[in-house]
Amino acid sequence: MSDAILELLGISKFFAMTAALSDVSIALRPGEIHGIVGENGAGKSTLIKIMTGVHQPTSGQIRIDDVPVQLKGTRDAQERGIAAIYQEPMVFPDLDVAENIFISHNKLGEVVRWREMYAEADRLIARLGVSLEVDRAASGLTLAGQQTVEIARALALDVKVLIMDEPTASLSAHEVDQLLRIARALKAEGVAVVYISHRLEEVVEIADRVTVLRDGQHVSTRDIGDVTTERMIAEMVGRDAGEFFAREKSHATDKVALSIEGLTVDGAFADVTFDVHAGEVVCLAGLVGARRTDVALSIFGVVPAESGTIAINGKAVAITNPKQAMELGIAYVSEDRRKLGLAMPMSIVANTTLATLEQFLSRSGLVNRRRERDVAESFRRRLNIRTPNVNTSVGTLSGGNQQKVMLSKWLNAEPSIMIFDEPTRGIDVGAKAEVHEIIHELAASGVAVLVISSDLPEVLSLADRIIVMREGRQMGIYDGAEATQENVMQLATGQELTAEPA
């Protein structure tokens, strides 16, 4: 027997050969707020998806009120009293608040009894301790208002476990207070609230117990009295020494290749300022929502900055589209191979020459297929791309090999400034080491390299300098050799500094 309402026992989840979760056990008690923290990729999302029936665990058991169950899907999980709300709420803008609350409800019968519905909606909102007109359209609601609607919707379904996934990431301070009040109201009603957040101070403020996940494994579950933010951070980042890559010596020169000053895109990031020297590797560290990719997209001309300046080799430039950025010698290796990086059904050859097609055209505009093939073939050998041949479509390759094709595409452009966005996410250790090798080679040849990475050991081993961002703001710059996981994470999570950054 246990006092748990929902219990996960030894849950593991594999995707292909990668373990997203291994042997995680968590018990949720009624009337508690249970914080779950961990770095990006620690397995939080997978855990939520298993609790809400989106994914089935590869092994392990889920118990509700001590009875083993199988959650067949979100609907099934909902009927058993488990619901989740996310950073981006799901509301139907053209329906009013009450209709949204009862959208998946069938208790009211076949015919909607409107007066009853509005009265019930009013009661639910009141239980959450907030004020919201239930007959107004959902379209004008703030994000916080939409979340309230979602929570009320869960409450209407007699929720026993409510999972909040980064609920405060886009809220203002006042709205955060309101959300925390709602979480406490739910707790008072006996609901088990799972609270997932990168904002450790919030977790400390509201949670009764905190679970730390790291690399898909359960690290600890403690009562809040036994937890400090320092300790949480240490547990979030702590790794075996063997997983660190050795640092190479810096190739940084005095020449400033890329200089950014006061760069701002409204609603994304503000006042970002840094230099990247030729031969230098600068890493942008931070958590999800730090808006690092937005900075890269702004430099690459996808979302031009609203204010601030970009200078290349000391000359101010205005970059308004990727083509122009490429002409200035900038390459951007996207984090999203599938959507932004590769034309999946097309061949390795076609993808390799995609960004540099002009090099392969005759004067009449025809493609020199033989030269194209030779270049793809040379990259296949140089980067050790494992494939039957270079005419294979990239969609059939493994993630690591796709990543190498994407690198080939940009290496062939011979950029002087190269931006990597999460270059090793989702690829195996061997491919990861090869990607790091390429980054070192580029730096050695005088290319200015900017790497966005959420993988702290990677950041610490690659970077000459580390820029830490949090929620669109630049928090500080560390010298790569002096930084530690703890102090980078402190800046990334917005903790007060124990020591000034170098």
Partner 1 sequence: MSVDASDLLAKSAPGRSSWTAALISWEGLLLAVLIAIIAVNANLSDAYLTVTNQINLFQLSIEKIIVALIMTLIIINGEIDLSVASMMGLAACAFGWLFQAGFPTVAAIPVVLLVGAAGGYLNAFFITRMGLPSLVVTLATLIGFRGLARVLVEDRGITDFPAWFDNLGQQGLVGPLPLAMIIFVVLLAFFIVVLHFSGFGRQVFVIGNNKDVAAYSGVDVARVKAILFTASGLISALAGLLYAARVGAVRGDVALGFELDIITIVLLGGISIFGGRGSLYGALLSILIVLNLRNGMALVNVTGHIQTGVVGILLIVSVLAPNMRESLGAAWSNWRGRRGSR
Question: 162: closest CA among 174, 171, 153, 172?
Answer: 153
For the chain, give the number of residues: 502
Helices 143-156 and 173-188, packing angle to 10 deg: 10
| Other Cβ atoms closer than 10 A to 387 | 19
Considering only residues 182, 326, 385, 460, which one is a binding residue for partner 1 as defined by CB under 8 A? 326
d(CA 354, CA 356): 6
Among all chains, which residue has been given the structure tokens 């102090």? 487
CB of 388 to partner 1, least distance (A): 9
Considering beta carbons, is residue 188 or 433 the nearer one to partner 1?
Answer: 433
Minimum Å gap between C-beta 15 and partner 1 is 4
Burial class (CB in 10 A: 0-12, 13-18, 19+), 370: exposed
For the residues of 87-132, what is the DSSP string, one character each?
SS----TTSBHHHHHTTT--TT-SS--HHHHHHHHHHHHHHTT---
Q: Of residues 368-387, which lie at the interface with partner 1 (CB under 8 A)?
A: none
Q: Which of 342, 411, 449, 467 binds partner 1 (CB under 8 A)?
A: 342
Q: Does 18 bind partner 1 (CB under 8 A)?
A: yes
| CB of residue 283 to partner 1, shortest distance in Å | 18
Contact region with partner 1 (CB under 8 A), list: 12-20, 194-202, 277-285, 443-451: 12-20
CB of 41 to partner 1, least distance (A): 4
Q: Which is nearer to partner 1, 118 or 332 (CB)?
A: 332
Q: Provide the H-helix boundaries in 128-171.
A: 143-156
Q: Which of 393, 440, 477, 502 binds partner 1 (CB under 8 A)?
A: 393
* Contact indicator for 387, 397 with CB cutoff of 8 Å: yes
Instruction: Give yes or no for residue 303 binding partner 1 (CB under 8 A).
Output: no
- Whichever of 192 and 296 has its CB closer to partner 1, that residue is 296
Candidates 88-96, 261-269, 337-345, 433-441; binding stretch for partner 1 (CB under 8 A): 337-345
Tell me the residue type at 51: M
- Under the binding rule (CB under 8 A), the answer on residue 456 touching partner 1 is no
Site string for partner 1, 32-61 (x = CB under 8 A): ---------x-x-xx-----------x---
CB atoms within 10 A of CB 468: 27
- For the four alpha carbons of 60, 66, 67 and 72, in that order, the dihedral sign comes to negative
Which CB atom, from 270 or from 367, has the smaller least distance to partner 1?
367
Residue 398 in contact with partner 1, rule: CB under 8 A? yes
Nearest-approach distance from CB 360 to partner 1, in angstroms: 7
Q: Which is nearer to partner 1, 56 or 307 (CB)?
A: 56
- The rounded distance, in Å, linking the Cα atoms of 338 and 333 is 12
451: helix, coil or strand?
Answer: strand
Instruction: Please tell me whether residue 358 adopts helix, strand or coil conformation.
Output: helix
Q: Using the rule CB under 8 A, is 340 a contact of partner 1?
A: yes
Strands of 126-200 (E only): list them: 161-165, 192-196
Residues at the contact surface with partner 1, assessed by CB under 8 A: 14-18, 20, 41, 43, 45-46, 58, 300, 302, 321-323, 326, 332, 334, 337-347, 350, 354-355, 357-358, 360-361, 365-367, 391-393, 395-399, 401-402, 409, 425-427
